[in-house]
Structure 1
Amino acid sequence: MSLVTDAPVTANRPDGPGPAGGLLWLTWRQHRWALVSTLVLATLLVGWMTYLSVEMTDLWHQCHNARCPDGSSQDLRLGARPFGLFRQASYVERLVQYMPLLIGMFIGVPVLSREHEQRTLLLAWSQDVSPARWLWTRLGLLGLFVVAVTTVVAAASDHLEHVGTRVGQEDLFRYEAVLATGILPVVISVCWFTVGVALGAVVRRTLPAVFGVIGGFIGVMLLVQFKFPTLMPPLGVYRQVDAPVDDLLRDNALLVSGGIIRTGGGDELSGLFDASGHQFTSGELERLCPPRLDPEAELSCFAGQHLQRYLEYQPGSRIPEFHLIIGAGYLALAAAALLTVWLSVRRTKLSAG
């Protein structure tokens, strides 16, 4: 039957060089299609990112190491829709963001769920390899593969993000850019690999575990995205309404809040303050500067009354700290997943009697 050929029931290949070689062969035998597919997709992704980096750098040099003028041929090449270089870079950025999900689904989940489904786990542990060695060797081999592949992808992604920031209008303190730079692609991929293994061990069915990984990934992603601007307390400063903020937001700074809220004369806070720090309500602001059809005239009225905004921002120097905070959170989730796997394996061992 296919169960016998698809999942060998012994930890050692008959002619393999002992338990270690048998586990290496077994890991390859059971996961070869997922590993090869991951390697091929990662190679294509790295090649795509390398191409985009080279093209953007070439256009940067054509524009004399400055941002290309609006309407120039280089600018049109960069911003063309739907397949301009910037648009392609955003597609790649999103692929890097979802790469850990694919790793958790197709590499992590089957490690234990398939063994439970095919009822080969206890028989494999009855051989000359202990459950603990079987588990940690499998996780170590697959984990090293995930780290190696995602490290190359992370390096190419980080380089592309820096090139895109230099050439284009985006900055590095965006949620998507932060997740695609530094070592975060590696850390998040390892996290969802271990979560996939844990769900496969607990649920013991591949398809439900896959849906569990998808739900968990989306939930954590939305939580991190929601909390992202305030992972550290933002800095604050008062600025005149008509004062430029380019000096404040240079060097990849992230603006957290500071917009003007124009509503229909109610009690909602407007986001504008007087010199004493009193924040106007929408009703007070409407009485001070009656609504006009021309937004520029309304803004001139605010400036004439010497109103100011309170801007909250994260300076670009905090990007490494944000990397550490997010990475630590994902590593904590990975540690909890590993503990879950270990406890599940211990219970399975005892149930074998």
Structure 2
Amino acid sequence: MTAITRPRPATDRADGGEAPSGGFRGLIWLTWRQHRWALIGTLVLATVLVCWMAYLSAEFTDLYRQCHHTLCPEQSPQSNRLAGTSFLIRSYSYLSRLVQFMPMLVGVFIGVPLLSREHDQRTLLLAWSQDVSPARWLWAKLSLLGLFVTIVTAAVAVTSDHMERSLARVSIGSLFQHEQFINTAMLPLVISICWFVAGVALGAAIKRTLPAVFAVAAGFIGLMLLVQYRYPTLLKPLSFYRQLGAQGDGVLDHNALVVSGGLINYGAGDQPSNLYDASRHPLTGAELERLCPPDNGTGTTLSCFADHHLQQYIEYQPGSRIPEFHLIVGAGYLALAVAAVGALWLIIRRTNLSAG
């Protein structure tokens, strides 16, 4: 076996200065030296996000006060500022998307390089042949970087939650919609921690930075789409029949999530129209057209639906369930993080140091 050249003492730095000696202080210094640009970049991005979201929250709160603590009337100056082409809403859209993808960036730029870079640069043997055991080296760096991720993403999560709730008070949007739901409470924090640990585990398993980055991106997007598709039915939806043309249904609150039954399939032939007659018999598209022929833009179709007492069958999740759904989704991501830690431990135990 080829002899290993004894590494330079830990007290020597490449720039000629003195580095902290071994132990926890030395690991702090090492973590900073190896990850400083990723940490600085993350801190700058988080600061920009927090400040920008705080500004938008203040603007939305001001509009809420101007509209006398209710939804802003249509065509009012306040409502125009909430239009889709306004600066406020475009800024909100960009920020909301950034917060949604922040966990992936954490996993890619902070999680993956922790071990994959050591494999890429063939320095793993050097790193683990010092006076600190491999396990202590790993868990110390994982804890330090994890603490940084927790603090930074917690600040983003709190500000994002405040922004989403401030906008929900002056608009017709629901906090149960996926784009808002995933950015409220502490989900940005929990998901970021999950993908940080998953990034470390994937970097250790794949042992190459670029493939691990693609794995994190693919896993994040795939899981995000799965959650978006499945989360409305994590609890059994409630249901009711809604009379078309009635003034309010008295059931759906502002933050309710309609799971099914909100669309009318007009002209669907023999397919269900999603409407029911007064006796709650389902109507096909053809039956609906015979009952209420097309109005060719005259606006009589909806009044025809109301005159015949047609109803929609609505399945929904009430807004009061949002905290429960946050707990369920958050617990799922935490379980994935625990599984990633377990996988990481097994990978480290089986790592062949002689391979570098």
* Shorter-chain TM-score above 0.5: yes
Which of these residues, 68, 76, 84, is aligned with residue 80 of structure 2? 76
Q: Which of residues 306, 311, 316 in structure 2 aligns to 1:303?
A: 306
Cα 1:86–1:248 change in 2 (3 A) is farther
Q: Give the aligned partner of residue 232 of structure 1.
A: 235
Q: Residues 261 and 13 from structure 1, CA distance in 2 versus in 1: closer, same or farther, beyond 3 angstroms?
A: farther
Aligned-pair CA distance for 1:326: 1.0
Corresponding residue for 1:6? none
Instruction: State the alpha-carbon separation in 2 of the partners of residues 93 and 188 from structure 1.
Output: 15
CA distance in 1, matches of 2:8, 2:153: 31
Q: 1:163 to 1:115 in 2, by over 3 A?
A: same
Count of residue pairs the alignment pairs up: 343
Equivalent position of 1:170 in the other structure? 173
Aligned 8 A contact 2:242 2:314 in 1: yes
Identity of aligned residues (%): 61
Distance of 1:57 and 1:13 partners within structure 2? 54
Q: CA deviation at 1:297?
A: 2.1
Task: Give the structure-2-normalised TM-score.
Answer: 0.90
Q: Within 5 Å, which residues of 2 pair with 1:1-353? A: 12-14=10-12, 15-79=19-83, 81-83=85-87, 85-245=88-248, 247-258=250-261, 259-266=263-270, 268-294=271-297, 296-349=299-352
Is contact 1:10–1:124 with CA below 8 Å preserved after alignment? no
Task: Write the distance in 1 (CA, Å) between the matches of 2:9 and 2:214.
Answer: 29
How much has 1:276 moved relative to structure 2? 3.6
Unaligned segments of structure 1, at least 5 residues: 1-8
Any idea what the Cα deviations from partners look like across 1:41-63, whole Å, max 9, x if unmatched? 10011000111111222233233
8 Å CA contact 1:11, 1:129 repeated in 2: no
CA shift digits 1:143-179 (9 cap, x unpaired) = 0100000001111111111111112222211101111
Amino acid at match of 1:334: A
Contact 1:254/1:314 (<8 A) preserved: yes
Mean Cα deviation higher: 117-126 or 213-222? 117-126
Higher helix residue share = 1
Indicate the larger mover: 299-308 or 135-144: 299-308
**C-alpha deviation, 1:205, in angstroms:** 0.6
> For the structure 1 residues 80 and 238, does the alpha-carbon distance in structure 2 shift closer, same or farther, using more than 3 Å as the test?
closer
Give 2:246's aligned amino acid: A
Alpha-carbon deviation of 1:275?
3.7
Separation of aligned partners in 1, 2:70 and 2:290: 46
C-alpha distance 192-13 of structure 1, shift in aligned 2 (>3 A): farther
Distance 1:54 1:72 in 2: 19
Q: Is the 8 A contact 2:154 2:186 kept in 1?
A: yes
Residue 5 (structure 1) aligns with: none
Give, in angstroms, the shift of residue 261 of structure 1.
1.1
- Give the aligned partner of residue 3 of structure 1: none
- CA deviations on 1:128-151 (whole Å, 9 max, x unpaired) are 211111111111110010000000
Alpha carbons 2:153, 2:192 under 8 Å: kept: yes
**Residue deviations 1:316-339 (CA, integer Å, cap 9, x gap):** 000011101111111122122112
CA contact (8 A) 2:243 2:249 kept: no
Provide, for residues 273-296 of structure 1, a one-character-per-residue CA deviation record: whole Å limited to 9, x for no partner. 234432122233233333332474
Question: Structure 1: how far apart are the matches of 2:31 and 2:56?
Answer: 35
Distance 2:191 2:150 in 1: 10
Contact kept, 8 Å, 1:109 with 1:196, in 2: the verdict is yes
Residue identity opposite 1:242 in structure 2: G
Report the Cα distance in structure 2 between the residues aligned to 1:288 and 1:72, rounded to whole angstroms.
Answer: 39
Q: 1:77 to 1:297 in 2, by over 3 A?
A: closer
What are the Cα deviations for residues 50-104 of structure 1, in whole angstroms up to 9, with x where unaligned?
1111122223323333333333333333336252x12211221111001111101
Q: Which moved more, 1:48-57 or 1:272-281?
A: 272-281
- Structure-1 separation of matches of 2:159 and 2:220: 23
Q: Say which is worse superposed, 66-75 or 160-169, in terms of deviation.
A: 66-75
- Taking only aligned residues, the RMSD between alpha carbons, in angstroms, comes to 2.2
Structure 2, gaps ≥5 residues long:
1-6, 13-18
Aligned counterparts of 2:225 and 2:204: Cα–Cα separation in 1:
25
Alignment-mate amino acid for residue 170 of structure 1: G
